[in-house]
Structure 1
Amino acid sequence: MTRPLKIDDLYRFEIPGDPTLSPDGERVAYTLATQDAENDRVVRSVWEVRAGGGPARRLTHGPADTTPRWSPDGARLAFLREGQLHLLSADGGEAVPLTTPARCPAGAGTPVWSPDGSRIAFSARATRREATAPVVIDALGWKADGAGMIGSVRTQLFVVEVESGEVGQLTHGDRHVGTPTWSPDGTQLAYPAQSGPDAAVLGTSAAHVVEVGDDTPEPRRIGPAEGLAGPVSWFPDGSALLVVGRTTFGVGHQELLRQPLDGSAPVSVGSALDRNVLPGGPGYPGALPQFHGDAIVFCARDRGATRLYRVDAAGISASPLPVGTGVSGCSVATKAGRAAVVVSDASSFAEIELLDLDGWTSGEPGGPSAGARSVRLTDHMTRSLPEIALHPVTEREFTIADGTVVHGMITRAAQTPAGGPLLVDVHGGPHNAWAPHSDPAHLYHQELASLGWTVLTLNVRASDGYGEAFYTAAVGAWGETDEQDVLQPVATLVAEGLVDPERIALTGYSYGGYLSCWLSARSDVFAAVVPGGILVDLRSMAGTSEEGHLIADFEIGDPERLTELSPISHAHAVRAPTLILHGGADDTCPVGQAEQWFHALRTRDVPVRLVVYPGSSHLFLLDGRPSHREDYSRRLIEWVTTHTDR
């Protein structure tokens, strides 16, 4: 007998991620996130599952073990334990620390093995700032969400000798560097780093290369200085770098770029797909591009779901994973012709699957392949929540008055009668997207559906997965361009009789919080509004948010429009009861934004409540304290049900 998911169930969640496939393709190590109710924290440990089948087994016992990476010979795993590098034999046993706080005071970053297995490279902050020490600020980039005030401390490049534990620092200076990658011959490291005359203001970055030896020379920049360089890797023959980025900085898709080592202009690889390449990151599922022979396997978003693609001489082809399945991690074992993939679908939040790359035929450009197959290796969802059946998600398309087609998803329980309440949920970004599969972060969707609600999620203009023109459609016109992408689909559902026009609620987080505030001032459709992680004053955001100046300069562009497009300028028109939910340590959308909105509504006698979650960053809905995530969903449900009750 099955039952619907409840908010309490989050304490039983087991979410796998960050898979790494052994060089022979026979073993998959990965991180498993579980919930520790007693200590109110997320626990992460390293697990392993065999490609040939059998139960997954736990290799480490946390509470903060992450980023496992196999040595080139498959004999050892390197991983991070509470920020320090550790080594674990593939045969098991106790983990041995490789770095220590004395040698890496701020901790290490993702381990990257040299081809011969003798060294591990990583990027990390060079020093640790004492919590009570004064913070001296001379440039932008002095704080980061989740890390707080970092002052002038920058990430640098390090190499540790595996046998001796000796740590050497390869880069210095006032520019952040990203995760490195070894050249095929093990003599050089490539990495992305801030570049250009005013990188801290503009956000520009480029690929760099540094030789590794007894006398390390200065790094050299490869390619344009004022573009955008994300993760980099080497072509197998060492002739060029593969860069995820853009040749110019601004709002738009990231591409796969082949960057010659001589510094000549990069060449786009696979741009015909017209989809945004996703290398993976918090809130933005994806995976690093990897080589399989002469082909490149990479992730890009399509209609809300992050999918796996391959580009080779025959063109671009999509993986055999079902359309609508989301990918949030991938590791390729080239010699074995396999990939380990973390997938999400209609029935599970995330599981590890093994994909046959050698059977992946190219097919039509951009279309699905034939012949390949995938095998599910883990069963964390059915093991931890065996009695749960998720409510179905149905896809819809809505044509807006100007002809734009907006893709939406409807979640509602089977047999729910027409004419009930509706919750509209707007995603963040604004260049994120709702996916048509299960989601462990927005638990209130499932519980509201159990209470007879319809939940509508919409990929409005600026959403990822619908081409670059759609992606950039709201630049310079936040709110104005996309407000009808919400209001007209709602009107359609009302006209169809699916929902009660008097019982419509609105919520959204981050940019979704912005648009929720904007719409509550522009429309009287909503009986209750719950904005979370909000931004309402674009001018003050520019000087207080880690991303504020980039939003002002590139997403809005015209400084004269900052006030006009700020919801705070229109707060006098808000009438709907509003619940504001915000992380107290949010450095992306600082809590002052929530305080401004609360003040603006409270002084106008609008029913309003502000709830602040102490110590929680902008992304606490994904991996913050379980009690905070539970409270967020419960308060949202209580607010919208109370204010739409008839």
Structure 2
Amino acid sequence: MWQPLCIDADQAFGWYPQPTQVDAWAAGLLAKSNAVSIRGTLLKTQPIRQEFGNGPNTLENRFVKFEAGDGRRPFYGYWQPAAKTPAPLLVNLPGYGGYVNLHPQLCDLGYNVLHISPQGYVGPRGAEKALQLPDGNWPVLPLTAEGLPGGYADWLGDCLLAIRWAQARPEVQPGRLSLYGTSQGGGTALLLASILGKEVRCACADLPFLTGFPLTGLAGPAYGLLQDPFTRVEAPQFWNRLGYADTLSHAHRLAVPVMLTAGGADDTCPAGTVEALFQKLRCTKQLTWLQEGVHTHSRQSMVLFAAWMQLYA
């Protein structure tokens, strides 16, 4: 499934936006989000509560419904406050499957954690299947390549609004924002670190997606989602649009400490793409090679997240 396509990577990268264009794109997204009001409502829903085996922090955690002043679709987050506040803020971004990931380990280390599920994909009722493609995948990546609403510009815009809401909460220490995630979550943590700049303390990108599109042959269960739009969109437009959402395009903007992982058995986000990003970064950085690592959030990544946050968050 999703066999590699024959792609001239040098030509494709040649259609990518220039650094100054990426700078303008990032600044534009931030300015647009700053002009929109955001309201977050903590909900009483406790869908993960069980009669036995209830996590010690579960009763303190809440879903958040986000409603923006520009009329976009409401979306959700999951708020995990630290036991002792004010505390630093960690923002967790979802993988492409959209699942809400809970990280009580980081709360126990003294952090507030906000998990964001942009575009209304996942909320208290679970996945909004009406928003999925016929194959069950989410449309954000194909829509990006096609230049249609609902692509990563809108996805990141939701994240910026949710982050602003969290930063204004009394539980959060000012100036103590860090970002992390696995797969798409790792890639978008880096994109948001680029957009927010000096507001961010550090970023962790575990097995990051959205990295080196032309290097992948558009193969595998993640990058393969682009094979259909690749056949319908003119090549210069296709690669230029993807270039704005490629972490390689943002390497020159990342000045905060960045932690990366690559999996030796990862056939979803190839290790070579992560290594290419590591070589381009000019900040404090770490790349951990997980020889047997497959494409999933793992115990190793959780330990690495915690260590990096303890150093820099």
Q: TM-score, normalised by structure 2?
A: 0.70
Name 1:599's counterpart in structure 2.
279
Do the aligned partners of 1:400 and 1:484 also contact (CA within 8 Å) in 2?
no
1:425 aligns with 2:97: no
Secondary structure of the 2:244 match is: coil
Q: 1:511 aligns with which of 184, 188, 197?
A: 184
Do the aligned partners of 1:141 and 1:546 also contact (CA within 8 Å) in 2?
no
State the distance in 1 between where 2:266 and 2:260 align: 14
Name 1:339's counterpart in structure 2.
none
State the distance in 2 between where 1:613 and 1:400 align: 40
Alpha-carbon displacement from aligned partner over 1:319-342 (angstroms, at most 9, x marks no partner) = xxxx754xxxxxxxxxxxxxxxxx
Gaps of 5+ in 2: 7-44, 133-137, 145-150
State the distance in 2 between where 1:402 and 1:467 align: 24
State the distance in 1 between where 2:189 and 2:231 align: 18
Do the aligned partners of 1:476 and 1:555 also contact (CA within 8 Å) in 2?
no
Do the aligned partners of 1:346 and 1:390 also contact (CA within 8 Å) in 2?
no
Name 2:302's counterpart in structure 1.
633
1:580 aligns with 2:248: no
Classify 1:642/1:567 alpha carbon distance in 2 versus 1 (closer, same or farther; 3 Å). same
Secondary structure of the 2:305 match is: helix
Deviation, structure 1 residue 529: 0.2
Classify 1:425/1:406 alpha carbon distance in 2 versus 1 (closer, same or farther; 3 Å). same
Alpha-carbon displacement from aligned partner over 1:542-586 (angstroms, at most 9, x marks no partner) = 345454232353499742323233121221111111001232210
Name 1:491's counterpart in structure 2.
164
- Alignment-mate amino acid for residue 550 of structure 1: L
Q: Which residues of 2 match residues 606-621 of structure 1 at below 5 A?
A: 606-619=283-296, 621=297
Secondary structure of the 2:75 match is: strand
Classify 1:422/1:469 alpha carbon distance in 2 versus 1 (closer, same or farther; 3 Å). same
1:532 aligns with 2:199: no
**Relative to total residues, which structure has the larger strand share, 1 or 2?**
1
Do the aligned partners of 1:346 and 1:393 also contact (CA within 8 Å) in 2?
no
State the distance in 2 between where 1:641 and 1:557 align: 46
Identity of aligned residues (%): 22
State the distance in 1 between where 2:67 and 2:168 align: 14
State the distance in 2 between where 1:521 and 1:598 align: 15
State the distance in 2 between where 1:520 and 1:512 align: 12
Classify 1:468/1:539 alpha carbon distance in 2 versus 1 (closer, same or farther; 3 Å). farther
Do the aligned partners of 2:218 and 2:226 also contact (CA within 8 Å) in 1?
no
Do the aligned partners of 1:509 and 1:532 also contact (CA within 8 Å) in 2?
yes
Gaps of 5+ in 1: 1-138, 143-199, 202-322, 326-344, 349-378, 383-387, 622-628
State the distance in 2 between where 1:556 and 1:598 align: 30
State the distance in 2 between where 1:462 and 1:540 align: 31
Q: Which residues of 2 match residues 165-564 of structure 1 at below 5 A?
A: 325=47, 345-347=48-50, 381=53, 389-391=56-58, 392-404=60-72, 405-414=74-83, 416-417=84-85, 419-429=86-96, 431-434=97-100, 445-461=103-119, 463-464=121-122, 465-466=127-128, 468-469=130-131, 472=139, 475-477=142-144, 478-524=151-197, 525-535=199-209, 536-543=211-218, 545-554=220-229, 558=233, 559-560=238-239, 561-564=241-244
State the distance in 2 between where 1:584 and 1:592 align: 10
State the distance in 1 between where 2:186 and 2:163 align: 18
Do the aligned partners of 1:433 and 1:463 also contact (CA within 8 Å) in 2?
no
Classify 1:555/1:502 alpha carbon distance in 2 versus 1 (closer, same or farther; 3 Å). farther
- Alignment-mate amino acid for residue 591 of structure 1: A
Deviation, structure 1 residue 476: 2.4
Classify 1:403/1:497 alpha carbon distance in 2 versus 1 (closer, same or farther; 3 Å). farther
State the distance in 2 between where 1:455 and 1:527 align: 15
Alpha-carbon displacement from aligned partner over 1:49-77 (angstroms, at most 9, x marks no partner) = xxxxxxxxxxxxxxxxxxxxxxxxxxxxx
Do the aligned partners of 1:428 and 1:511 also contact (CA within 8 Å) in 2?
yes
Do the aligned partners of 2:206 and 2:301 also contact (CA within 8 Å) in 1?
no
State the distance in 2 between where 1:554 and 1:389 align: 46
State the distance in 2 between where 1:484 and 1:446 align: 26
Classify 1:540/1:527 alpha carbon distance in 2 versus 1 (closer, same or farther; 3 Å). same
Deviation, structure 1 residue 462: 6.7
Deviation, structure 1 residue 497: 2.8
- Alignment-mate amino acid for residue 551 of structure 1: L
Do the aligned partners of 2:119 and 2:158 also contact (CA within 8 Å) in 1?
yes
Larger Rg: 1
State the distance in 1 between where 2:157 and 2:229 align: 23
State the distance in 1 between where 2:3 and 2:305 align: 33
State the distance in 2 between where 1:473 and 1:546 align: 15
Do the aligned partners of 2:182 and 2:205 also contact (CA within 8 Å) in 1?
yes
**Relative to total residues, which structure has the larger helix share, 1 or 2?**
2
Classify 1:546/1:458 alpha carbon distance in 2 versus 1 (closer, same or farther; 3 Å). closer
State the distance in 1 between where 2:231 and 2:311 align: 36
State the distance in 2 between where 1:140 and 1:545 align: 5
Matched residue pairs, number?
252
Alpha-carbon displacement from aligned partner over 1:448-479 (angstroms, at most 9, x marks no partner) = 21222111011112724346358546642343
Do the aligned partners of 1:493 and 1:499 also contact (CA within 8 Å) in 2?
yes
Secondary structure of the 1:529 match is: strand
Alpha-carbon displacement from aligned partner over 1:17-46 (angstroms, at most 9, x marks no partner) = xxxxxxxxxxxxxxxxxxxxxxxxxxxxxx
Name 2:249's counterpart in structure 1.
569
Q: TM-score, normalised by structure 1?
A: 0.36
Classify 1:636/1:586 alpha carbon distance in 2 versus 1 (closer, same or farther; 3 Å). same
Deviation, structure 1 residue 498: 2.8
Structure scoring higher RCO (CA < 8 A, sep ≥ 6) equals: 2
Secondary structure of the 2:228 match is: helix
State the distance in 1 between where 2:88 and 2:250 align: 27
